[in-house]
Structure 1
Amino acid sequence: MKQSEIKETSTADLQEKFAEARKVYSDFKMAHTISPLENPIQLRNHRRTVARISTELTKRKVQ
């Protein structure tokens, strides 16, 4: 998910996407622990997506 898409999304939708993204990231992480993923770059991409959404939610909460 790109930063521009995140900025345009409503706060309620972002909270839903944040929960979903964290679950997906945790699933990928667990799968990678059990047996290596074919494309481990997916872990980094999902981790960064979670961070982007979290940052935007925090920014909106402060304002």
Structure 2
Amino acid sequence: MKIAEIRELSTKELVERIEAEAVALNRMEINHSISPLDNPAQIKLTRRMIARMKGELRQRELNKQ
């Protein structure tokens, strides 16, 4: 997901998406510890996507004030 797509989401959708991605990341990390993933770089990409979404959410909070 690109930053432009993240900016198009509403705040509620963004919060829901962050929660869903965090659950998916947790599941990936657990699965990877048990047996290696086909693409372990996916963990890094998911972590970065969550950071981008949290950054956008924080930016919205700061712009409201």
For the criterion TM > 0.5, the same-fold answer is yes
Q: Which residue number in structure 1 is paired with residue 52 of structure 2?
A: 52
Q: What per-residue deviation string (whole Å, max 9, x for no partner) do you get for residues 13-60 of structure 1?
A: 000001001011111011111111111111111111111111111111
TM (norm. structure 2) is 0.91
Q: What letter corresponds to residue 3 of structure 2 in structure 1?
A: Q
State the Cα RMSD in Å. 0.7
5+ residue gaps, structure 2, are none
Q: Sequence identity, in percent?
A: 38
**Matches of residues 1-63 of structure 1 in structure 2 within 5 Å?**
1-63=1-63
SS across alignment from 1:51? helix
Structure 1 segments, 4+ long, off by >6 Å, are none
